[in-house]
Amino acid sequence: MNFKKVLTALTAFAALLFTSCDRNNPDGQIDPVNITVSQDYLEVDSLAGTYHLTLVSNRDWTAEVEVSNPWGNEAEWFEKYPWLVIDRSSGVAGDTVDIAVSVSTNVSDSVVYQREAVIWFRTEEHIYATVTVHQMGGNPKPNADTGAEIISVADFIAEEESEKWYQLSGKLTGLYNTEYGNFYLEDATGSVHVYGLNLHETAGDKTFSQIGLQEGDNVTIIGRRDSYNGEVQVGDAYYAAKKVTVAEFLAAEVDDRQLYELTGTMDDLYNTEYGNFHLIDDAGGDVTVYGLTSTPLTGKDNDKSFSTLGYADGDVLTIVGTRDDYKGTPQVGGPAYAIRAKGGPSLTVVTGEAVLSDDKSSMTVEGTFTYTGEASDITEVGVAYREAGAESFTEVKAPEVVSPFSITVSLEADKAYEYYAYAKMGDEIRQGATLTVSTSGNVLSVSDVVAAADDGTLVEDGSLAVLGAFMEGIVVANNEGENYYRKIQVADGTGAQASGIVLYGVEGDYAVGDRIRLDLSNATYSPFSGLREIAFDDSGARIEVLESGVDFTVPELTAAEFNSGDWQGMYVTVTGLTSDNDEGATWGEDDGTVSRYFVSGDQTVVVRISNYALWAGDVIASGVTGSISGAVEVYNGTLQIYPVTAGDIVDFSAGE
């Protein structure tokens, strides 16, 4: 959906209101333009139908319709054969108007795409309202704007579970896991469970600590409507704002949709009602902040809550807003909101890594805490632990409230334990990251781990330490050709099915043929859309190279054998393929990762190429039959090959 145009209208309206009472016209009174429509987004099915909108305006207005995100010659076809028409194209000030919107059936003998159009209602003052009409019928267009829908907590809870993205804003409460970022998001309409928050659009990458959020902070997130055991939750959530410097913010394009987080010093506070000032960061960047509120209000009128924040010139603060512009002058708009109010004491707890006794019968954990308030506020510190997968933690209180503090607890043999350091302020508790330790000395093969994942012994986001201490295998694919970022594939090397797995978020250079031993104490099973994948906590993968240059078997498969087998996490060669791509198509494109298709008989093999791949700009040779090799992943049940080097696709490389 195209929210950018909708929000532009709201931002422009707010800007006009601000101008009427700001330094440009301190005493003047302007009757603001008020043009509103009963809804700004309308989703309809693929059948023909008529829908009704109500428009109210205190100015004369005109209307027009245009295609949103035209694909190919869609805009030209729409001009000749519009699939959406409205029965009113103009109106006079003061009228309340019913507008009929008629759409035709979305059918075609070829591929049917969902389609979208924007109805613009404009006044002479360049203030306007918009309605985006989205008609279903097939897949989203290849260039569809799939921006998240801005929604309240109550409306989010009322939605059905789907793959659709939503944007929610509110206060972070009940933070109970600082490793994954599990908490509750609360706004004026209700509260919803957020099951993990990442800095980037990547499920379960344990980057919550990099965001810097605390209990009680304001936050905007993007996620999907999900549930667990009947409880509604936000799944696959990530931080909506990009963390940038002032210089990076100024270099960004004007965009009333994208949020940015900036930190700096308040300077030249020239309007204390709306919160207008300059923000200067450590690098000397300087930008105007045109309105700051105490809660997220982006795209809405400023609620004049700035005075409740307690900020003044010279204070350091962190804000979130959009890249705006006023008569050629860059500014933070939205209005922006403050992550937190000034002066609230913050408490941070860090969990130290457990030190096992020589016989692994006990562990000692050191915890630390930092508190900016009165020391007497902290009533208890200690360590909580449990056997991995158990229902509850056991708390062990330290004898005194000091930092650092140390706790020793007894453990049983051949088991995995989860633990974290904590600190309490009365009834409130803050905890450090949850870590895992194993008293097992078992060394597993990759096939052992795969079998445990397939039979349910390993649960999603569960610790691999429940299986043993280490996993050994051979690196069969890496990022040598820059097409497999921060991943390596590890296999037993026998070439048998179900004997490979993906390690995600791996830093460091590990060569193909390295036989490695992976420490499982901080590893979790993190499947993504069916892909067997291992992820790690913030300390990263702990890998020891045991031997280099080890030979391994590369399965050589037909397309049918490839598509019907369990080859994920392995490096394979698929033979007898021909290109099913457009003549002259290149392997990659300018942005993102794309699929390229190769066929053999009635079988199609999907090949994935990043725009960073060293051969991304090369043309795919057509009219030839050859082989393609690479690392195998699966996405929603479809196997995909990621070539590792240019040699993996040499049969189809025609050059630039």
Task: Identify the pLDDT of residue 186.
Answer: 92
* Domain match, 588 and 501 both: no
Q: How far apart are CA 488 and CA 434, in angstroms?
A: 25
Average pLDDT value over all residues in the chain: 87
Instruction: Establish if 130 belongs to a structural domain.
Output: yes
**The domain spanning residue 311 has which CATH number?**
2.40.50.200
**The domain spanning residue 540 has which CATH number?**
2.40.50
Q: Domain of residue 296: give its range.
A: 242-338
CA-nearest of 333, 317, 313, 326 to 249 is: 333
* Domain match, 227 and 248 both: no
pLDDT at 111 over 70: no
* Domain match, 45 and 112 both: yes
| In contact, 55 and 121? CB cutoff 8 Å | yes
Instruction: Establish if 399 belongs to a structural domain.
Output: yes
* Domain match, 457 and 431 both: no
pLDDT at 26 over 50: no
**The domain spanning residue 106 has which CATH number?**
2.60.40.10
pLDDT at 372 over 50: yes
Q: In 148-228, where does DSSP find H-type helix?
A: 153-158, 208-211
Which of 82-91, 103-112, 158-167 has the largest mean confidence?
Answer: 82-91
Instruction: Establish if 513 belongs to a structural domain.
Output: yes
- Average pLDDT in the 102-130 region? 81
Instruction: Establish if 10 belongs to a structural domain.
Output: no
**Which structure tokens are listed for 140?**
């989203």
Task: Identify the pLDDT of residue 77.
Answer: 85
Q: Which residues pair with 494 in a beta bridge?
A: none
Per-residue CA distances from 136 to 6, 51, 133, 265, 594 (Å): 20, 15, 10, 48, 24
Task: Identify the pLDDT of residue 175.
Answer: 85
> Per-residue pLDDT tens for 482-491?
999 889 999 9
Task: Identify the pLDDT of residue 345.
Answer: 63
DSSP structure string for 453-484 = HHTTSS-TT-BGGGT-SEEEEEEEE-STTSSS
Q: How far apart are CA 296 and CA 340, in angstroms?
A: 11
pLDDT at 364 over 90: yes
* Domain match, 390 and 352 both: yes
* Domain match, 249 and 323 both: yes
> Per-residue pLDDT tens for 631-646?
999 987 889 999 999 9
DSSP-derived secondary structure letter, 393: P
What is the tally of structural domains in the chain?
6
Instruction: Establish if 4 belongs to a structural domain.
Output: no
* Domain match, 482 and 497 both: yes
Residue 12 backbone phi and psi in degrees, to 5: -65, -40
Q: Which one of 288, 308, 338 terminates a domain?
A: 338
Q: What percent of the chain has pLDDT over 90?
A: 56
Judged by DSSP in three states, 246 sits in helix
pLDDT at 415 over 80: yes
Task: Identify the pLDDT of residue 9.
Answer: 36
